[in-house]
Amino acid sequence: MKASTKEKLYSVLKYLWFAFCFITGIFVGALWFYHDSLPPTSELRNYTLRSGSEVYDRNGKMVYLFAFEKRKLVSLKELPQYLIDALIITEDKHFYHHFGIDILGNIRALAVDIVRLDFSQGASTITQQMARNMFLTLDKRLSRKLKEIILALRIEREFTKDEILEIYFNKIFWGGQIHGVETASLYYFGKHARDLTLAESAALVGMIQRPNYYNPAKHPERLIERRNMILGKMLKAKKITQEEYNEAVASKITGDRSSLQQYSTDYYIEHIRLYLERKYGTEKLFEGGLKIYTPMDVDLSVYADSVLNRYLSNVEKGYPASMRYDSVPKNSVDINTRYLQGGILLMENSTGQVLAMLGGRNFTHSKFNRITQAKRQPGSAIKPTYYTAAIEKGYTPATVINDAPITLTGGNGKDWTPQNFSRKYYGPSRMRTAITYSYNVWAVKTVMDLGLDVVNDAFRRFGIDAKAEDYSAALGAYEVTPINLISAFTTFPNNGFRTKPVFITKVEDVNGKVLERSSTAKYDVTTPQVAFIMTSLLQSVVTSGTGAAARNNYYWQAAGKTGTSSDHRDAWFIGFNRKYTLGIWNGFDNNAAISASASCAPIWGQIMTKAIRNENKGRLPKSDDPRYSFVVPDKIVKRTINPKTGFVSEYGIEEYFIEDNIPPARSDTLSYNYYPTRWENP
């Protein structure tokens, strides 16, 4: 080699050496400069991932997570190996061989950043990504990159490789509020991370780079392409076989996307959030790692939501387009809903546990809960409360009142003549007939007979938040909160005890300590005998009266009451068997009149049957199953009565009575069993 060539080579190497030393000096100086501004090693070890509070349904399945960052922690040992392999091959193939940074990769990235002056290059190892996600911002500056390197070196000294991977899997962002692989798996695929398939594992890893861009719900084709690229890398690295690769790339991107998303259970979740946040505070609820156990039946809620929306949508077909649910633009949020609304509450009678609650048709449209927050007129659905008081005062199913016109002075000082729904009058009628067909005049005369003080006492015992100030209370003219009215009906199948709705059965802290455990709150309303007589009367409503449609697709004993408010602004059906009570309401938020077809009874049977099916693990029990059949208590007897007069007779129909309150026997068909009412002169 010529001397001149050697000199040139020496000169180039000298300049390269000086450049290397200069850059290294700047780099080392920067590291020293930022060294003291970063968290010490002890803080790295003490760093804890914030974990939200988990909500579980009655079957022990996690259904929701209260969290600022939705995260459910998982151990590395629980994760499938192909999930770990997919991450390392995609994000940091030299993970187990470097000491926190990829030197060549970082030098290349740094050089490009300096040339372009935009500092946008990556080359971050898994450890560097972990450092950035734990302690740094996401800004693309050289200073952040240097801090990232320092932290990565510290992390590698403090943690093992497996510990780093475990923290990474629990920390990484997967779009929206989703953090951590367990939460992402539950959210996108409806399963625990340990149960992920190879294809699902590759898909989740593929989302890390750009979670929203690869969102499987919005852009499945993008995610499939990204997933298959990762599967190809795994095949090339011999982490999977050709057969496994072929099977995985052939699979579709699917997932029930229901485990952690609020849909049919949204009103239920929001209801318990309000309670929990008031009691435990926002920080403890969203970062305290509580475990919240509920009696919620998610499958039943989904079914009830579907049945309610389908039914009301059919009713709306006769409405103007502006008043229909299907006219609302997609992605509408917090709007003034002009369409027909509905609500449902289903609870277990003996415990008060609420299996399903729908506070409206779409939580995204309106978060107002029409079951727990609304005030609505109950119409005839209020009648069983004061009819109970009437039985206590000596009325029987055979008591007769003349269903004839009567004119009263209303609360506004004007004359008021109550009418039946049919605009007809039916003359002397027995109590069972009046309840079966919901006679209004009969009801008003009963309230006049009892007096408003007795009616208000009945409201109080039944937990009804209303005060009767005039006789229009007989027809449900005063507003009530739906949850109170529906739960009041548990009195009848519970032998006279009303149960308070229960939405939470147990709350545990992060260490498993029980913070609260629900107990059934029971309120003594009436005697078992009176409760049974009322149950028997309400059975007639379902068997042959205004609530007969409730028996559609339903085969067990049932009792209940329909209700329609004045001007047809509200429609109700509250029905029960021995096990469950289910109340359904519909109406407009602005109190507009609804059509006559908007009754609630037709869908009651479908939803109650689903509850029974779920309790029996998909099987339908016999129609006489004792769990759903009413029990006749002591001191209840049967007698044959004349169906016209209400007196005991040799021939006629059978009727239930409390043994110390039986009508006398009379053969005279010209008199009626008006006792103990004051209406002996019709």
Which domains does the chain show, CATH number per domain? 69-255 (1.10.3810.10)
Q: Under 8 Å CB-to-CB from 229, ≥6 apart: which residues?
A: 206
How high does pLDDT run on average in the chain? 87
At 227 the three-state DSSP class reads helix
17 confidence band (pLDDT: 50, 70, 90): low
Q: Are 448 and 413 within 8 A, CB to CB?
A: no
**pLDDT above 90: residue 122:** no
Task: List active site positions.
Answer: 91, 380
Q: Which residue is associated with the tokens 């103990």?
A: 676
Quickly state the pLDDT bin for 42 (edges 50, 70, 90).
low
Statement: residue 395 has pLDDT above 90:
yes
pLDDT at 104 over 80: no
The pLDDT score that the predictor gives to residue 564 is: 94
- The model's pLDDT over 581-616, given as tens digits with 9 standing for 90+, comes to 999 999 999 999 998 778 899 999 999 999 999 999
Under DSSP, is residue 230 helix (H, G, I), strand (E, B) or coil?
helix
Q: Which pLDDT band holds residue 95 (cuts at 50, 70, 90)? A: confident
**Among the listed ranges 57-61, 135-139, 302-306, which one has the minimum average pLDDT value?**
135-139
CA dihedral (129, 134, 138, 141) positive or negative: negative
Least confident window among 96-105, 252-261, 462-471, 540-549:
252-261
Q: How many CA atoms lie within 13 A of 158 on its CB side?
A: 19
The closest of 534, 625, 617, 537 to 579, measured between CA atoms, is: 625
Inter-residue contact 663 to 647 (CB < 8 Å): yes
431-477 pLDDT, tens digit per residue, is 999 999 999 999 999 999 999 999 999 999 999 999 999 999 999 99
For 140-163, the pLDDT digits (tens) are: 555 556 677 777 777 887 888 888
Residue 297: what are its φ and ψ, rounded to 5°?
-110, 100
Burial of 664 (0-12, 13-18, 19+ CB in 10 A): exposed
Sheet strand arrangement including 506-508? 62-66, 53-56, 291-293, 506-508, 514-517
pLDDT band at 16 (very low <50, low <70, confident <90, very high): low
> What is the reported pLDDT for 2?
55
Q: With a cut of 70, say whether residue 36 has pLDDT above it.
A: no
H-type alpha helices, 352-421: 383-392
Helices marked H in 346-451: 383-392, 431-436, 440-450
Q: What is the pLDDT of residue 258?
A: 44
Side-chain-side CA neighbours of 352 within 13 Å: the count stands at: 20
pLDDT at 367 over 90: yes
Higher pLDDT, 536 or 283: 536
Average pLDDT over residues 22-41: 54
Q: How confident is the model at residue 110 (pLDDT cuts 50, 70, 90)?
A: low
Section 295-313 average pLDDT: 96
